């Protein structure tokens, strides 16, 4: 088993698009196992960094209850609130119900604070492994369809190295710090991984690389449409007349 330092260096080579590192992953009989350990290690590092950063944010920022109360009081103080209440005396009760539902959704999306960050130390590696397997499998199937020659293990070994781009998320150890551009860089590293593994021409490699993201985008769009329809239905039933 390689040391953590050597795996970290391997991950840096992946981010820097070092073709020798990708070829070594492809040709090494230990490439798949090394790739799995690398993905899990990056997940643990990023999850721990996020926990530290979120703790710093928790200490520095106002409490969630205080922020929620400020927004609630501000909305109730607006002229439109009094106007709607005059027309519909039941509106204050309906408003409180809608506000409570929206607050719960925002809290769930925000990750659940420190508790969510603690859970994230475990779930982040799992999510990264699932993501690696999903995109690696999609890329492999498309690459083989387009004439690629790599085995499934070789594709996963190389795409594990491509997932090293997630190391950039370590900056989240600093409170309120965010990293941008990882999506684009991740596509670039995946492109290099698939091209080196399957030795495909540029355009075939491009389409093999984009299959996974396109499938994921379609799934997310479908889920967003369903959630929008449900939210509009709930809002419509709460408004006067029972519809938008």
pLDDT tens per residue across span 60-113 = 766 677 778 888 888 888 888 888 888 888 888 888 888 888 787 766 655 556
Confidence of residue 198 (pLDDT cuts 50, 70, 90): very high
Cα 149 from chain centroid? 30
HEC sequence for 19-85: HHHHHHHHHCCCHHHHHHHHHHHHHHHHHHHHHHHHHHHHHHCCCHHHHHHHHHHHHHCCHHHHHHH
Question: Which pLDDT score is estimated for 42?
Answer: 93
Q: What are phi and psi of 2, to 5 degrees?
A: -75, 155
- What percent of the chain has a predicted confidence (pLDDT) above 90? 40
Question: What span, in angstroms and rounded, lies between the C-alpha atoms of 127 and 130?
Answer: 5
Given a cut of 80, is residue 195 above it in pLDDT? yes
User: Tokens for 226?
Assistant: 């369903």
For residue 120, what pLDDT band results from cuts at 50, 70 and 90?
A: confident
The residue extents of the domains of the chain are 4-208
165 contacts 17 by C-beta, under 8 angstroms: no
Confidence band, pLDDT 50/70/90 cuts, at residue 132: very high
pLDDT at 38: 94
């Amino acid at each position: 088993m390689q040391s953590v330092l050597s795996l970290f260096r391997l991950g840096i080579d992946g981010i820097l698009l070092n073709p020798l590192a990708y070829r070594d992953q492809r040709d090494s009989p230990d490439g798949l196992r090394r790739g799995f350990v690398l993905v899990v290690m990056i997940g643990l590092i990023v999850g721990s960094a996020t926990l530290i950063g979120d703790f710093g944010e928790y200490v520095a920022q106002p409490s969630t209850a205080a922020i929620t109360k400020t927004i609630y009081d501000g909305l109730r103080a607006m002229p439109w609130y009094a106007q709607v209440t005059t027309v519909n005396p039941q509106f204050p009760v309906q408003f409180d119900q809608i506000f409570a539902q929206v607050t719960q959704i925002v809290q769930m999306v925000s990750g659940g604070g420190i508790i969510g960050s603690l859970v994230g130390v475990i779930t982040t590696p799992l999510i990264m492994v699932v993501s690696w397997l999903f995109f690696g499998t999609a890329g492999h199937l498309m690459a083989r369809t387009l004439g690629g020659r790599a085995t499934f293990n070789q594709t996963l070994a190389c795409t594990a190295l491509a997932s090293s781009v997630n190391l950039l998320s370590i900056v989240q150890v600093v409170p309120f710090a965010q990293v941008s551009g990882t999506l684009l860089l991740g596509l670039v590293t995946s492109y290099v991984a698939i091209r080196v593994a399957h030795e495909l021409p540029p355009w075939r490699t491009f389409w093999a690389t984009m299959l996974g993201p396109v499938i994921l985008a379609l799934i997310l769009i479908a889920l967003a449409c369903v959630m929008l329809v449900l939210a509009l239905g709930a809002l419509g039933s709460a408004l006067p007349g029972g519809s938008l």
